[in-house]
Structure formats: structure tokens, C-alpha cells
């Protein structure tokens, strides 16, 4: 497994060892021993999958403490633009946006620590988005920011007339520059 550090502390790109031949390929999408060897000691308790069609934008979501989540995200089918925003109080990269293309071909994964908002847009005709979480979902702790908030200046790579955003996400507040206490 190759680990690439981004310019935001703790936000990591993971690339599995892929074994390909004329039949297709094989790779371990997760191996706890490899995580421990690399000092990535997370205990994932929940796996989630979302199927979406082209133009869907999901996010920007996070869970407040004590139910905050670290996520390990990947795309086993299709292609998405994955976005993470550092919301950790005191972080030197507070408010910074990071994005990466995740798809079934590059097999890259993004490890998103607790304290980040997260979202993605579907760039292919359809996609399957898979993520592991180190804490359980809690409706009473869910929060987020409007995915089209002008502060973040996210290019979702979807034309405005093709964007599909849930009413719930469109009702999310805009980002407040002040870190949460």
C-alpha cells in the first residue's frame, strides 16, 4: 500500500497494491495490519455505500463530537470528485479545501480524519461510493455546509444545469469563518 501525505495534516491518499492479469485484477481494499504498521490505528465500525447517477452532489457533511467520524472512502464503480475541508479548530489549514478524483481504475482511497467536512460529485454515468467509518452515524449529531457555498469555491466539475442536490443539502448553512469551540 502506497501512502501519500497531502498538504493537510492527517488527510492521506492510499493506493492499494493491485495485481492484474488477463482475467482482471485483485487488491485488498482494507487490511488492518497494513494500517497498524503504518501507524494508522483506526477501528472502523460501520461501512456505507451510496449509488448515484451523473450530476449528483452529496455533502458537505460531518458529524459533531462526540460522534465525529474518520472516513476511509473509495469508488469501486464509476468516478467521483471527492472533497474534504479541514474544520479542525487550531489547524493551520482550517477552512482549506482538498479534492481528488477517485474511480474504479485508479483505485485510490482517501483517509479523512475526524474534524473534516466531506462531499463528492458524480462524474460518470453512475457510481458506487463506499466508505468505512470509525464511529456510528448519529442523526442528532449530523451537520454540514451548503455544497455551493461561495467561500469554498469548489469546482464540482458538473454544469449548474446538471447538478442534482438534495433539498436537505441545499438547506445547509454557509460556512462561518470562525472555528467551532
Q: Under a CB-based contact definition with an 8 Å cutoff, are residues 54 and 162 in contact?
A: yes
CA torsion 91-142-47-81 (nearest 10°) is -60
Nearest to 57 by CA among 110, 122, 112: 122
Q: Which residues are the active-site residues? A: 61, 131
Q: Under a CB-based contact definition with an 8 Å cutoff, are residues 40 and 132 in contact?
A: no
Phi-psi region of 78 (alpha: psi -120 to 50; beta: other; left: phi over 0): left
Amino acid at each position: 500500500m502506497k501512502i501519500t501525505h497531502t498538504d493537510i495534516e492527517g488527510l492521506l491518499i492510499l493506493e492499494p497494491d493491485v495485481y492484474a492479469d488477463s482475467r482482471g485484477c485483485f487488491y485488498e481494499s482494507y487490511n488492518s495490519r497494513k494500517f497498524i504498521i503504518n501507524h494508522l490505528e483506526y477501528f472502523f465500525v460501520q461501512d456505507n455505500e451510496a449509488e448515484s447517477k451523473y450530476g449528483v452532489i452529496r455533502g458537505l457533511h460531518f458529524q459533531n463530537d462526540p460522534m465525529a467520524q474518520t472516513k476511509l472512502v473509495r469508488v469501486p464503480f464509476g468516478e467521483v470528485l471527492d472533497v474534504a475541508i479541514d474544520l479542525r479548530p487550531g489547524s493551520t489549514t482550517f477552512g482549506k479545501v482538498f479534492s481528488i478524483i477517485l474511480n474504479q481504475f485508479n483505485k485510490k482511497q482517501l483517509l479523512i480524519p475526524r474534524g473534516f467536512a466531506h462531499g463528492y460529485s458524480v462524474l460518470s454515468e453512475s457510481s458506487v461510493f463506499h466508505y468505512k467509518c470509525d464511529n456510528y452515524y448519529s442523526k442528532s449529531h449530523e451537520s454540514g455546509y451548503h455544497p455551493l457555498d461561495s467561500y469554498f469555491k469548489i469546482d464540482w466539475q458538473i454544469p449548474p444545469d446538471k447538478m442534482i442536490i438534495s433539498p436537505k443539502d441545499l438547506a445547509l448553512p454557509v460556512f462561518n469563518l470562525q472555528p467551532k469551540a
